[in-house]
Amino acid sequence: MRTLAAMRLLILLLLLLAWPVAAQEAVHGGPVRALAASGGALASAGFDQSMIVWDPAAGQARAVVRWHAGAVNALAALPDGGFASAGEDGRIALWPGRPGAQPARVLEGHTEPVVALALSPDGRRLGSAAWDGTGRIWDLATGAARRLEGHQGNVNGIAFRRDGGVATVGFDGTLRLWPEGESPVTLAEFGLPLNALAALPDGTLAVGGVDGALRLVGMDGAVRETRAGARPIVSLAASPDGSLVAAASLGGNVTLWEVASLRLRHSLEGPGLPVWSVAFAPNGASLWTGGADRRVRRWDVATGRPVGPLGPEAALDIPAGADAHGARVWRACAACHALTPRSGNMAGPHLVGLFGRRMGSLPGYEYSERLARGDIVWTRETVADLFTRGPDVVTPGTKMPIQRVGNEDDLRALLDFLEVATR
């Protein structure tokens, strides 16, 4: 009996070691940047450098993987039920449906962050778009890649049309087609940066840009457009039957549009924070969204009503006695930072002992090169300077998102809060 019990214990330990993080601990520690649905599974990824594979029916995670060196910006479903992930490190990882700690294969070639992935209709090729100014088309059987060059600046989106043709959009405001063995064709030019691209089953391309307009470009190049919101569109998804397009914006709104009429079907009422990613379920009945609130949310497409988020609620760990006004300002920081050392899967380092600590000095956290230099000591004055001038000015080249606190009362309250909460 003791031998049998010991064997069972050994098997249990091996099973636990096979999973990167236990399901009940699965919650993103930063904004959710990408989503992809494959069969009965859903994958989410984000600024916390992790990919979580979910069982949507159970509302729990199957696995949490932290492999990429930096934010995970893009996901795509693979034909075998697995997923492809890509991110800030420029690498593309191919994962089985039940991923372990290491990917099955790695595709390398991009020299800057990869921000978009797409699978070809025949499942044989994977497209990638990156901030090195190129796109690539990868043969999944051989790993060979065709390089797409021509955009001026970042390439932000890539998609395959029904005929297998490849389209890209970029910061230069152009929508380009890439015929095999021919020079690229500029299908449309909009004069402003384009952030998102999705292909519909009939070959129509949905394009989203910084002006908040949703544009539908037909196979013949004809353009229809509507105003989806006042803030930039950063993610698009087409329903499986091609009748709807979902548009997510930095303003926090997600809108569902009927393709045939460009009529607004639903405006989804979320937490009001930037939404970075949208994806339809394979049956088209549900829409998944992810954003700055660190949650993966599910919506009923027919009614536009929320069904419920996946995983546990992300705790803010606000201590008693902390400034209430400052706690409200702190919520924007809580998307990436925690106030306890037992913070788990967070995008940024915890802030315990912040004041008096030299930047880039917390053991065990992988800092960007700029922060690792450690030439600033965090005090009330230096933190105030960081949020007055912005991380892009005070610590250029870091991974910190650009945000400023322009209101003096808000900044004072945040500093009061941090002085208590980070002791």
CB-CB contact of 65 with 50 (8 Å) = yes
* Integer Cα distance of 52 and 324 in angstroms: 33
Q: How far is CA 272 from CA 107, 243, 267, in A?
A: 36, 26, 12
Enter the pTM of the model: 0.76
Per-residue pLDDT of the chain (423 residues; tens, 9 = 90+): 334 344 333 323 322 233 333 333 467 878 999 999 988 899 999 988 899 999 998 888 888 888 998 899 999 999 989 999 999 999 999 999 889 889 999 999 999 999 999 999 999 999 999 999 999 999 999 999 999 999 999 999 999 998 889 999 999 999 999 998 888 999 999 999 999 999 999 999 999 999 999 999 999 899 999 999 889 999 999 999 999 999 999 988 899 999 999 999 999 987 778 999 999 999 999 999 999 888 899 999 999 999 988 866 555 556 777 888 888 888 767 757 888 886 655 667 888 899 999 998 888 777 777 788 878 999 999 999 998 998 878 888 776 666 678 889 989 999 999 999 888
CATH number belonging to the domain at 324-421, selected among 1.10.10.60, 1.10.10.10, 1.10.760.10, 3.40.50.170: 1.10.760.10
Residue 193, φ and ψ in degrees, nearest 5? -60, 140
pLDDT value, residue 120:
96
pLDDT value, residue 399:
64
pLDDT value, residue 10:
34
Does this chain's domain 24-309 share its CATH topology with 324-421? no
**Distance from the first to the final alpha carbon of the chain:** 51
pLDDT value, residue 345:
59
Residue 176, φ and ψ in degrees, nearest 5? -120, 145
pLDDT value, residue 350:
86
* Single-letter amino acid code for the residue at 378: W
Burial class (CB in 10 A: 0-12, 13-18, 19+), 298: middle
CATH T-level topology, domain 24-309: Methylamine Dehydrogenase; Chain H (2.130.10)
* Integer Cα distance of 92 and 186 in angstroms: 27
Domains of the chain, residue spans: 24-309, 324-421
380-387 long-range contacts, CB within 8 A, separation 24+: 380/355, 380/415, 380/419, 383/354, 383/355, 383/415, 383/418, 384/411, 384/415, 387/411, 387/414
pLDDT value, residue 15:
29
